[in-house]
Amino acid sequence: QSVLTQPPSASGTPGQRVIISCSGSSSNIGSNTVNWYQEVPGTAPKLLIYSDNRRPSGVPDRFSGSKSGTSASLAISGLQSEDETDYYCAAWDDSLNGHYVFGTGTKVTVL
């Protein structure tokens, strides 16, 4: 199974901008759209970004997504204390008859 690689942790002070990277391959990020989920451990994840850079209604515009080649990024601007939780990238992978892959997850800490 393919996997998307994220840094285990990221941090910033309130108001700062934090960027989380997501590295994949040509069979996943390189050829399919990327989604980002925010998860409070033990609860159902919440969709933050879909189709690389689109926000569902209700998601603050502090959250933005981008993609280039086989990598994607999630940026959190104006970091707030409630942003301290886990973040996962995800995408469809065309290899092995097709399967869905999640990133390894990044814990964001607000200092």
Partner 1 sequence: QLHLQESGPRLVKSSETLSLTCSVSGGSITNSNYYWGWIRQPPGGGLQWIGFISYTGINYYNPSLMGRGTIIIDSSKRQFSLKLSSVTAADTALYFCVRYSGEAYYFDSWGQGTLVAVSS
The residue from 25, 27, 28, 35 that contacts partner 1 (CB under 8 A) is 35
Binds partner 1 (CB under 8 A): choice among 47, 58, 63, 73 = 47
Identify the residue among 51, 69, 78, 80 touching partner 1 (CB under 8 A). 51
**Measured CA angle at 65 (ends 40, 2), to 5 deg:** 75
Distances (CA, A) of 107 to 1, 26, 51, 64, 82: 23, 26, 22, 17, 13
Query: Any contact of residue 44 with partner 1 (CB under 8 A)?
Result: yes
Q: Give which of 101, 104, 105, 103 is closest to 27, Cα–Cα.
A: 101
Name the site residues for partner 1 (rule: CB under 8 A): 1, 32-33, 35, 37, 39, 42-45, 47, 50-51, 88, 90, 92, 96-105
